[in-house]
Structure 1
Amino acid sequence: MQVATPSRQSPSLYCFSLACDAGDLSFTTTKEPEIMLNQSQSVVEKEANQAETESAAHQPSLKVVYEAPKSQSFPIHKVYQIFQDYFRPRRKRAFMQLFPEVASGAPVVDIGGTAGWWKEDFPKGVDISIVNIDDDHREEVTHSGFKFYQTDGRRLPFSDKQFYLAFSNSVIEHVGDLHDQRRFAHEAMRCGRKLYLQTPNKWFPVEPHLMTAFIQWLPFKVSRRLLRYFSLWGLVAKPSQQQIDEFLRTTRLLSKRELKHIFPTAQIKEEKFLGMTKSFIVLIR
């Protein structure tokens, strides 16, 4: 997101535009002393530079991420791997039973994913288009034989029902606020004739990215202070306050009620762990 800043123009034009805005359209042919003009130019340039600096300082920044922020690339992922090794094989087997056409080459768009899910267990020749907001995964994706598109998951450049399946794995919780999540959901349903989307459950006691209980239920002002010293991620990764705020602002877990609201025609399946709903699988078949 960018905020427009005043264009740099010559001091004379800048002064003229200010005079016009004030309603002073009078003209004179009297020649002002050169020293006064130079002083006037200097003042205007200082004001213009100050305005530009202030605008840049207050310019809001929003980085939408489709994976855990890069600031989380720390050894804590070894902990994540324990749970992934348990859930992912089961999830993949269930996926292939639901959508066997994918193995035969039915076109799939993976919104916000990487090559990892597809290159490990799926046969060669699958037709996978991977969408991501940044370019970091392009080389891995293309070398794995898949198509790569750098674009925003909330504004996909594809035609309606272009793909057999729209797929997304642990992404929708990273795209922004509820409005952004609705846009993401709409685009996924628009581009795919079928849908498979997985996302963590907001009400599962442990926040899966931070490996810490209950912190996802706290207000932003509280959690940003606690996360550094009262979460596994904070203790292991030692993130800066900026990294903490980045994560909190770009991560919004969803409840089952919210998923039903933004995916009104979908079936919501629950993925259980120790008898509790750990995550949801959103299906349109």
Structure 2
Amino acid sequence: MLKSAITDYATPGSISHSARARRWAEMMRCFPELAEMRVLDLGGTPESWNHAPVLPAQVVCVNIHPKHATVHGPVTGFVADACDLPDTFRSEHFDLVYSNSLMEHVGGHDRRKRFADAVHAKADHHWVQTPYRYFPVEPHWLFPGMQWLPFRTRVAISQYWPHGPSSHDNIRKAAADVADVELLSATEMRSYFPGSQIWFERFAGLPKSLVARKMNY
């Protein structure tokens, strides 16, 4: 109940729904022509765009999970690795690259660098969001300070804390869940997107997530 009240962005009144609405308002301020744009969404799903207040002219979602290879109107799902786009995308150029809460999951510096290179190569403009490492509550487990604890402790929390990706007694699955998340600092984001503006999305006055954005101005 607690987790859905906080994280369910589709439920009006949830913290996530309110944060998403504020984020979309800021994005529309930065890209008022979004409805006419061709957008490459790295890590997104066609279903997620059902909740967007503005639908671009075309959206291509790249996701590694085959279940998201669907079509919803102008939104198409494509199975691929966002850090290693296939030759199909070699000649493609978009108006905007968009990514929401993917960069902390791609796995290590080298893959984050390849992800950022793909963002720079595929469009002149981008909006890349990721949770902020120094927000006091870890956003995937909703556990205070979890991201600063030793790996073994985080695995134990993942096994038994009820608000994480899953609650289970399987230590291997818990370890995989923990290893999958590497939250970033503002300094790291600036190193991957040196020509971009870093916007701090805030909650209760504290920076909650980072957005690397590159606009016309």
Q: Give 2:81's match in structure 1, choosing from 133, 152, 158.
A: 152
Greater share of residues in strand: 2
- Asked if 1:173 corresponds to 2:81, the answer is no
Contact persistence 2:44–2:100 (CA under 8 A): yes
Q: 1:220 to 1:162 in 2, by over 3 A?
A: same
1:86 matched to 2:18? The reply is yes
2:190 matched residue in structure 1? 260
The code of the aligned residue for 1:80 comes to T
8 Å Cα contact 1:162/1:191 also seen in 2:
yes
* Matched-pair identity in %: 31
Question: 1 CA distance for matches of 2:163 and 2:178?
Answer: 13
What amino acid maps onto 2:102 in structure 1?
V
Indicate the SS of the match to 1:277.
strand
| Greater fraction of residues in helix | 1
TM superposition score normalised by structure 1:
0.67
Change (3 A) 1:150 1:271: same
Matches within 5 A, 1:1-285: 76-81=3-8, 82-104=14-36, 106-123=37-54, 126-139=57-70, 142-157=71-86, 158-159=89-90, 162-229=93-160, 231-233=161-163, 237-238=167-168, 240-285=170-215
Q: Secondary structure of the residue that 1:202 maps to in structure 2?
A: coil
5+ residue gaps in structure 2? 9-13
Q: Which runs of 5+ in 1 are unaligned?
A: 1-73
Q: Residue 219 of structure 1: CA displacement? A: 2.2
Match of 1:54 in 2: none
Cα offset for 1:159?
3.4
Partner of 1:69: none
Task: Please say if residues 165 and 177 of structure 2, whose CA atoms lie closer than 8 Å, have aligned partners that are also in contact.
Answer: no
Deviation at 1:168, TM superposition (A): 0.1
Read off the aligned partner of 1:129 and give its amino acid letter. Answer: V
Query: Which structure's CA Rg is the greater one?
Result: 1
Give TM-score scaled by structure 2 length: 0.86
Q: 1:98 to 1:125 in 2, by over 3 A?
A: closer
Native 8 Å contact 2:6 2:16 kept in 1: no
State how far apart, in whole Å, the 2-side matches of 1:131 and 1:260 are.
24
Equivalent-residue separation in structure 1 for 2:72 and 2:201 (angstroms)? 32
Give the 3 Å change call, closer, same or farther, for CA 248–124 of structure 1 in structure 2. Answer: closer
Q: Distance in 2 between matches of 1:275 and 1:174?
A: 26
**Residues 229-275 of structure 1: CA deviation (Å, up to 9, x unaligned):** 3x342597335222211111111100001111111111101011112
- 2: CA distance, partners of 1:160 / 1:263: 22
Deviation of residue 125 (structure 1)? 6.3
Q: Which letter maps to 2:186?
A: K
* Cα pair distance change 1:277/1:235, threshold 3 Å: closer
SS in 2 for 1:94: helix
Contact 1:201 1:278 in 2 (8 A): yes
- Cα RMSD after superposing both structures: 2.3
1:102–1:134 CA distance, 2 compared to 1 (3 A): same
- The CA deviation at 1:78 is 4.8
Alpha carbons of 1:97 and 1:223: their partners in 2 closer, same or farther (altered >3 Å)? same
Q: Distance in 2 between matches of 1:202 and 1:146?
A: 31
AA at the equivalent of 1:90: R
Q: Contact between 2:46 and 2:72, CA under 8 Å: does it hold in 1?
A: no
Q: What is the CA distance between 1:114 and its match in structure 2?
A: 1.3
CA distance in 2, matches of 1:85, 1:253: 22
